[in-house]
Amino acid sequence: MATIKETVKIRPHFPINQNRTIDEAVKFLCSHNISATLVSNDSGEIVGILSEKDIIRKVLYKDLDPKNTKVAEIMSKRIIHVHENEDVNIAKTLMIMNGVRHLVLVDDNHHVCGLLSMRDLIESDLKEFKDLLKKVNDAYYEHEYQPTWRVSSNRVIIETHEPNVDEKTSSIIKFL
């Protein structure tokens, strides 16, 4: 079980006040190079999430004036939390089931510790796959095992039974 904290680089979150305008929010998102942000009230409590999707669908599509529309008017008020020590696959499932691209990360004290995006999860998956391919490549070129090649239907199967190759790597090799 890979946890979010173990596999995803959790970046600091940047809340914006709900009374700011959408024009200010767009500049805020761009200056921090983020696609969504947590929204806070005047007391600093998190009251929503503002994403590019919200801005496109609720401001631009409806032809509202970004300079006169407040963040509170269009933000997503439904906040879905996930614990930073939760399984990564649970986070993916929550996003898919709820039709969202961002989840609020909380720690053991239920304090917000970040905003998890679908992109974060994809990057994590790609890194894991890249590491696995490197391991397969290293094992092959360093001759840690002597593969047996055979053709089955329309694909090549590489088999190994060497003890130096872990089960996951061996499975990938067999799939190739």
Measure the N-to-C terminal CA separation of the chain; round to a whole number of Å: 25
Residue 71 contacts residue 29 (beta carbons within 8 Å): no
Tell whether the model's pLDDT for residue 1 goes beyond 70: no
Residue 82 contacts residue 91 (beta carbons within 8 Å): yes
The model carries a pTM of 0.71
Tell which residue, 128, 109, 138, has the closest CA to residue 6: 128
> What does the alpha-carbon distance between residue 143 and residue 69 come to, in Å, rounded to a whole number?
63
Would you place residue 151 in the very low, low, confident or very high pLDDT band (cuts 50, 70, 90)? low
If you search the block for the tokens 């094992």, which residue do you land on?
Answer: 139
Tell whether the model's pLDDT for residue 137 goes beyond 80: no
Tell whether the model's pLDDT for residue 144 goes beyond 80: no
Catalogue all structural domains in the chain, each as residue range(s) with its CATH number: 4-122 (3.10.580.10), 143-175 (no CATH)
